[in-house]
């Protein structure tokens, strides 16, 4: 078992491949690399939850990972974020405003951004990263129910 305090993109994709190969999971990912600025983002989908993983730090050796997901809000985003943050210490939620193309405030859309910072300081294992992504994905299912509302069942 190797303990990492930094990770390369190849090592991270090896961890993600383990999730892809697991028959109990529906996991897929795509690496997006901006060659102009070196920014890397990995778009992921586990079951029906979509999220991104962004390696942080000076590449090719990354010190942290940021897991991010976005949700529409069925009610007041501030109240929903407060409710989420009270229930979950694993990640945090905050309202995020998408400005309209015309710059008209009334047409701006408020969505909810949920984030989890995975810090490697002190060392983590591949298994820890894998378990964190699994836990994250499960938490996103609950977050989606809270933020976007559970569909009403017909009687």
Q: Identify whether 30 is part of a domain.
A: yes
Rounded Cα gap, residues 51 and 134, in angstroms? 12
Strand order in the sheet with 40-46: 27-33, 40-46, 49-56, 64-72, 109-119, 92-98
In a domain, 14, yes or no: yes
- Average pLDDT (97-121) is 81
Model confidence at 154: pLDDT above 60: no
C-alpha span between 60 and 7 (Å, rounded): 8
Please tell me the distance from the alpha carbon of residue 28 to that of residue 41, in angstroms, as a whole number. 14
Query: Is residue 39 in a domain?
Result: yes
Residue 34's domain comprises 3-148
- How long is the chain? 155
Looking up residue 51, the CATH number of its domain turns out to be 3.30.1460.10
Does 140 map to a domain? Answer: yes
CA dist., res. 147 & res. 77, Å (int): 8
CA distance 141 to 128: 20
What does pTM read for this prediction? Answer: 0.85
Q: Confidence class of residue 107 from pLDDT cuts 50, 70 and 90?
A: low
Rounded CA separation 54/17 (Å) = 16
What's the rounded mean pLDDT across residues 88-99? 87
Question: Is it the case that residue 108 has pLDDT exceeding 80?
Answer: no
Number of domains present in the structure of the chain = 1
Residue 155 in domain: no
**47 domain residue, yes or no:** yes
In a domain, 153, yes or no: no
Per-residue pLDDT, 4: 74
pLDDT at 155 over 50: no
With 60 as the cut, is the pLDDT of residue 55 above it? yes
Asked whether residue 154 is assigned to any structural domain, the reply reads no
């Amino acid at each position: 078992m190797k303990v990492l305090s930094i990770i390369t993109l190849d090592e991270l994709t090896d961890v993600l491949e383990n999730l892809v190969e697991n028959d109990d999971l529906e996991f897929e990912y795509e690496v997006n690399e901006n060659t102009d600025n070196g920014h890397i983002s990995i778009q992921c989908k586990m079951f029906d939850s979509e999220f991104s993983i962004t390696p942080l730090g000076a590449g090719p050796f990354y010190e942290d990972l940021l897991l991010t997901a976005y949700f529409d809000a069925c009610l007041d985003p501030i109240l929903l974020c407060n409710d989420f943050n009270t229930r979950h210490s694993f990640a945090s939620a905050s309202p995020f405003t998408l400005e309209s193309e015309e710059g008209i405030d009334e047409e701006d859309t408020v969505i909810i951004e949920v984030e989890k910072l995975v810090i490697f300081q002190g060392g983590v294992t591949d298994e820890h990263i894998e378990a964190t992504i699994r836990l994250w994905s499960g938490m996103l299912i609950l977050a989606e129910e809270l933020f976007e509302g559970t569909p009403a069942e017909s009687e």
